[in-house]
Amino acid sequence: MNEYRFAEIELGLEASFSRTITSEMMTQFLALSGDCNPLHIDSSYAQEKGFEDRVVYGLLSSTFYSTLVGVYLPGKYCILQGIDIQFSKPVFVGDQLSIQGKVSYINEAYQQVEIKAFITNQAGIKVSKAKIKVGVIDD
């Protein structure tokens, strides 16, 4: 876990990591959310609707934005204050996702940082992007 303090954060500071979506993640998200839409739980239904397989929950894939700021950029001293996410392509079980973020704005008065982030799949296709606002707390 990174431990950037506010004074250490600079414009352009970047972080990235990767995760693979598993069936277990889908099962756990269903149990947590109660979202039983057949696009997410029924392969046949999803294929009838034109998808290659069941579609991963958008908010499951976007949980990695929380991991990005809470673990990597800035890490330990971060408090998530806002996030604006746009989904552009579906994600499927087995997809290998790369999550990347870069500091794009620093607000000295509020000790707030804005991070522009995006997620790509194993083919390099951008599946979502986000603008994330975080506060950076001091000890």
The CATH number linked to 121 is 3.10.129.10
> Is residue 78 situated within a structural domain?
yes
When the pLDDT of each residue in the chain is averaged and rounded to a whole number, the result is 97
pLDDT tens, position by position, 2-41: 999 999 999 999 999 999 999 999 999 999 999 999 999 9
DSSP string spanning 82-111?
Answer: EEEEEE-S--BTT-EEEEEEEEEEEETTTT
Domain range for residue 107?
Answer: 6-136
> Is residue 91 situated within a structural domain?
yes
Residue type, 71: V
Q: Which helix (H) or strand (E) holds 38?
A: helix 38-41
Q: Are 135 and 110 in contact (CB under 8 A)?
A: yes
> Is residue 17 situated within a structural domain?
yes
* Cα–Cα distance for residue pair 119/43, rounded to 1 Å: 23
> Is residue 24 situated within a structural domain?
yes
> Is residue 100 situated within a structural domain?
yes
Count the domains in the chain. Answer: 1
> Is residue 1 situated within a structural domain?
no
pLDDT of residue 135 exceeding 90: yes
